[in-house]
Amino acid sequence: MIDFTTKHRQPTKSPLSRLGETRLRKMIGFDPLYFIAVAPAMLLAFWAQGRVRHNYAVASQVPAPLSGAAAARHLLDSAGLQAIAIEPIAGQMTDHYDPQHKVLRLSEGVYGHRNMAAVGIAAHEAGHALQDAYRYAPLVVRNLAVPLANFGGSTSMLMVMFGAMIPSMRILIPIGILAFSAVVLFQLVNLPVEFDASSRAKKQLLEHRIVSQQDMQYVSGVLNSAAWTYVAATLSAVLTLLYLVLRFGGGGSSDER
């Protein structure tokens, strides 16, 4: 999976929340409504991940004139962002821009490698730095939504689980659903942020002649297929919210109706 993971991009889940989500799914069992609801997102995610792996493998074999780090440095300096540091980070697919510390971190497979996949990913992350510098509105909104999304991602399923299992705590069900709505909002706002970062990356790589028009197909393949993974994640969140409303919206489990 290639996920250009910008810091704070995805709401985090605590171990307690993951336990609650697991128990909730066990409680749901083989509910046909659940699988019908999330099936489109699951199929789209499966297809998108396959495209990402294929396009990344192909682009990694096409040489580039600069390494990922050098390409990002060139794009940032050209925009007057010399103060933004670029650092290597351990692991794979750990690339991200840290808006708090103004640091762009590139993974081992991107930082020092000179291929189309590396420069494409590095330019995408540089695109987030440009968004931050220019106060790109959706990014500002997304950053403001992070605390609510983190809270919703770490507590919503737990609240729904307890509310469904304990009659005296059913008030937690609508609260949990509302909390999960923050995750959906975050994902919806995140889409234009990711699309814009990729658009900036492709435009800048061409303008600065780091990538030729002929080789842009390889960069576009990686970035466009990655964009579908963001769409799949957003669709999954929306459909999960819809399921929770239909399944528990009345304040209790469907078995009680």
Give me the active site residues, please.
125
What span, in angstroms and rounded, lies between the C-alpha atoms of 252 and 257? 8
What span, in angstroms and rounded, lies between the C-alpha atoms of 118 and 57? 11
Closest CA to 156 of 250, 249, 29, 241: 241
**Alpha helices (runs of H) in the chain, residue ranges in sequence order:** 15-28, 32-59, 68-78, 108-111, 116-133, 137-165, 172-207, 216-248
Residue for token pair 């990014």: 139
User: At 95, which helix (H) or strand (E)?
Assistant: none
CA distances from 179 to 9, 22, 35, 242 (A): 17, 18, 22, 13
Contact in structure between 76 and 106 (CB atoms under 8 Å): no
